[in-house]
Amino acid sequence: MRQTSPAGIIGAFEHPERRIPEGEVADVITDVSLGALADAGLELADVDGFFFAGVHQGLSLVAMADHLGLDHLTHVDSTDIGGASAIAQIGHAAEAIAAGKCRVALVAMGGRPLEASPRPAGPPEAGARYQKDVDLSQIAGYALVAQRHMAEYGTTREQLAQVKVAASLHAQYNPNARLPYAVTLDEVLESPLISDPLRRLDCCVTTDGGGAVIVASRDVVERTGRRAGWVRGWAETLRTTSGGHLDLMHNGADRTGPVALEQAGITTADIDYASLYDSFTITVLLALENLGFCERGRSGPLVEAGELLVSGSRLPVNTDGGGLCNNHPDRRGGMARTLEAVRQIRGEARPEVQVDDCEHVLVNGTGHTLAGNASAATLVLGREAS
């Protein structure tokens, strides 16, 4: 049975720049926070819930709240699960609102990885020591997953490359995209090899920037009169290495997807648009299968048939260009993927990529690495509250 959502996203803002040569990370987060509040028709004084994960940047939730001047907070959350953090925090915000802990929640993130000095490497996480022992870099881990998918299901390099092609065909309509132009299949396949089978154009961009959303209670939504993306369902999980007993074809979305959809009272057939984390092309193939949009091993043929494109497909994916072409601020793409989903559900995407009669959207994020400890979060937004 479908339940009425207690909370909706009424404010959303994405930093327009992909390289920010001056200023501090706190300034970026301030800019996107104020932008989201302006979009919602609200002010900082209205915010009583703050959701922010910045400890990895040396910026605590308390310090950021002080920088913003948030002094009326009744609920806070600093959950950090990597690239899936923002998506999980939106779910947390909806739960907090339903429990009466707050009424206006600000979820914000940002970073300047292109300008910041590299942070010194700390000791490896307990469950990731084997990666250090075998010198398994992040991209090598994703390449390992791609190799396994190819060996198990016959996935081809061309099918991986088609994910990038689809993203670029959408990105050409996004003037803010880091790579705002279309690329061909041959261009992807002929780009420099990074870690077999992944080539340069199989990898996401790294950008400065960030974004923020305002999640508000029903009475606030009604008072502002703003069109909302209602939080209909969400779920989060961690997928650990399990002492080495790790199935590389399961990324955690196989747990979060069904839970979020069941909570929303719908199935994958009801989803009109999907924002899928695309740190690498293989990440999208695995998400399509784990979320249940296709059977195991069938994501390659689906992508090859053009089923990610906004024109003529059943499930348009990443119509802003995604992390592969648009942006990947602070190397965490969950917020950026959410922002395009909000634009789609509110009918505010760029006209060339706006999905007709968009009623339900799904956002899926992953964190850490598909070849080791990982996190996953899935969010379902609806045009209507129930």
Q: Which domains does the chain have, with CATH numbers?
A: 7-117+208-228 (3.40.47.10), 131-206+234-382 (3.40.47.10)
pLDDT at 192 over 70: yes
For 122, counting Cβ atoms within 10 Å of its Cβ (0-12 exposed, 13-18 middle, 19+ buried), the class is exposed
Cα gap 120→350, rounded to integer Å: 40
Q: What is the pLDDT of residue 298?
A: 97
pLDDT at 385 over 80: no
pLDDT at 127 over 70: no
pLDDT at 331 over 70: yes
Q: What is the pLDDT of residue 136?
A: 75
Cα gap 289→301, rounded to integer Å: 12
Compute the average pLDDT of residues 370-379.
Answer: 91
pLDDT at 129 over 80: no
Q: What is the pLDDT of residue 115?
A: 82
DSSP 100: T
For 209-251, how does the pLDDT look when each residue is reduced to its tens digit (9 = 90+)?
999 999 999 999 999 999 999 999 999 999 887 777 788 898 9
- Crossing angle of helices 157-171 and 281-290, in 10° steps, is 100
For 63-117, how does the pLDDT look when each residue is reduced to its tens digit (9 = 90+)?
999 999 999 999 999 999 999 999 999 999 999 999 999 999 999 999 998 886 5
Asked if omega into 316 is within 30° of 0 (cis), the reply is no
Q: What is the pLDDT of residue 373?
A: 86
Q: What is the pLDDT of residue 118?
A: 53
C-beta of residue 97 within 8 angstroms of C-beta of residue 215:
yes
Q: What is the pLDDT of residue 116?
A: 66
Token pair, residue 48, equals: 């009583």
Q: How many residues would you count in the chain? A: 386
Q: What is the pLDDT of residue 119?
A: 53
Cα gap 54→126, rounded to integer Å: 21
Token pair, residue 322, equals: 């995604």
For 276-325, how does the pLDDT look when each residue is reduced to its tens digit (9 = 90+)?
999 999 999 999 999 999 999 999 999 999 999 998 888 999 999 999 99
Cα gap 26→356, rounded to integer Å: 37
Q: What is the pLDDT of residue 135?
A: 60
pLDDT-derived band at 24, boundaries 50, 70, 90 = very high
Cα gap 112→40, rounded to integer Å: 25
Cα gap 321→326, rounded to integer Å: 5
C-beta of residue 327 within 8 angstroms of C-beta of residue 18:
yes
Q: What is the CA radius of gyration of the chain?
A: 19
Q: What is the pLDDT of residue 368?
A: 87
pLDDT at 1 over 60: no
Nearest 5°: phi and psi at 352?
A: -70, -20
Cα gap 165→170, rounded to integer Å: 9
Q: Where are the beta strands (DSSP E) in 162-225?
A: 193-195, 198-199, 209-217
Q: How would you classify the pairing of strands 104-111 and 198-199?
A: unpaired
C-beta of residue 338 within 8 angstroms of C-beta of residue 93:
no
Residues near 209 by beta carbon (within 8 Å), at least 6 away in sequence: 14, 15, 16, 17, 18, 20, 28, 110, 111, 327, 329
